[in-house]
Chain A
Amino acid sequence: MKVDLYNYILGIADNSLILGQRLGELCGHGPNLETDIACTNISLDLLGQVRSYYQYAAKIKNDNSTEDDIAFLRKERDYVNVLLVEQPNTDFAYVIVRQFLFDTFYYEFLNELQKSHDVTLAAIAHKSIKEVSYHQRFSSDWIKRLGDGTSESHQKVQAAVNDLFMYTDELFHQTDADIAMIADGIGVDTGLLKANYYSKITKILEEATLQVPEHKYFHKGGKQGIHTEHLGYLLADMQYMQRTYPNMEW
């Protein structure tokens, strides 16, 4: 099995899975019907991408694993999503800021992944980037609305930015699998995206009259499977059926 490629795919797909799961929790509880429907669309896009990635990963694993085995039957430490996407839906500001900080990265990432020497990944990236381009527009627009809306919304969204900003640096961390795949021309050298990422989010945050936090510290660990406490609860919920009723078809 191509271990590095397999791990590399999980590194991309787990982000979409966990963020899709978080957005799914919101369905029916949004601030307005229209917004509820929009957030669900993003969740559906991400979960659709997840299926393509995991189906490909399952093929590489080549031991009769299915997309669902990969999605539902790993242990806490085996999920390699970044910490940002597992942060809870504290309020709509956190939902939007989390989305914005992720979308901006993911768009740049997919843009490069389209050039991957791995044709399957390039094809998934090519399809996904249109979806993510829309997500990015949606979340950026909302950052501006909330930042430059009322003083209450400004305060709330600034609080979310201050809290979530410390998870952004991890987006650019490279695991061993990342480094191996970059060397093979399959993976994206995220180091090259970093400057552009921060200048893009700075531009939008400033347009939204928000302060870019001057953090000297960042949290990381998700890509090594060392998560925040939030992930355990998310997995307990997500894996409930598979764990309670093992080896059944649904």
Chain B
Amino acid sequence: MKKNWPLWEVFVRSKNGLEHRHFGSLHAADEEMALENARDVYTRRNEGVSIWVVESKHITASNPEHNGELFEPAQDKIYRHPTFYELPDEVKHM
């Protein structure tokens, strides 16, 4: 039998109030081991209060070749940003 431990992606919340952030990857045979390994590998220096692990193959990623159609159309929608609107200087707190 020659099956290798699959790859997992590790997300760690550094402290409550912050989002989970991608920390890196590791190998593990199952989800319990993935969590344990993530704890041992990525939080040795007190880096986290919560861990998510997900097997890498379950992540669906966008294709960089489609970056043009996916992301460029948002570039000129400047009316979504507050700076698009002109207000007199007298108006404060808006």
Classify A-B as touching or not with yes or no (CB < 8 A). Answer: yes
| Interface residues as binary, A1-34 with B (CB distance below 8 Å gives 1, 0 otherwise) | 0000000000000000000000000000000111
Q: Report the nearest B residue to A150, measured CB to CB.
A: B1
**Is A37's beta carbon under 8 Å from chain B?**
yes
Within 8 A of A (CB), among B7-57: 26-29, 32-33, 36-37, 39-41, 44
Smallest distance from the beta carbon of B34 to chain A beta carbons, Å?
9
20 additional A-B pairs beyond A34-B27, A37-B41, A38-B37, beta carbons within 8 Å, are A32-B5, A32-B27, A33-B27, A34-B26, A34-B28, A34-B37, A34-B41, A35-B37, A37-B37, A37-B40, A37-B44, A38-B36, A41-B40, A134-B39, A137-B36, A141-B32, A141-B33, A145-B29, A145-B33, A150-B1
- Which residue of chain B has the shortest Cβ distance to A144 in the bound complex? B32
- With known contacts A32-B27, A34-B27, A141-B32, A41–B37 Cβ distance under 8 A: no
Is A138 an interface residue, CB under 8 A from the partner? yes
**Residue among B26, B40, B44 with the highest chain A CB neighbour number at 10 A:** B40
**B37 neighbours in A (Cβ, 8 Å):** 34-35, 37-38
- List, in ascending order, chain B residues with CB within 8 A of A32's CB: 5, 27
Once the chains bind, are A138 and B36 in contact (CB under 8 Å)? yes
B39's nearest neighbour on chain A, judged by CB, is A134
Q: How far is the CA of A32 from the CA of B33 in the complex (A)?
A: 12
Once the chains are docked, how many angstroms separate the CA of A35 from the CA of B29? 11
A150 to B1 alpha-carbon distance, docked (Å): 10
Residues of A near B26 (CB, < 8 A) are 34
- Please give, as numbers and ranges, the residues of chain B lying within 8 Å of A41 by CB-CB distance: 40, 44
Residue of B nearest to A145 (CB): B29
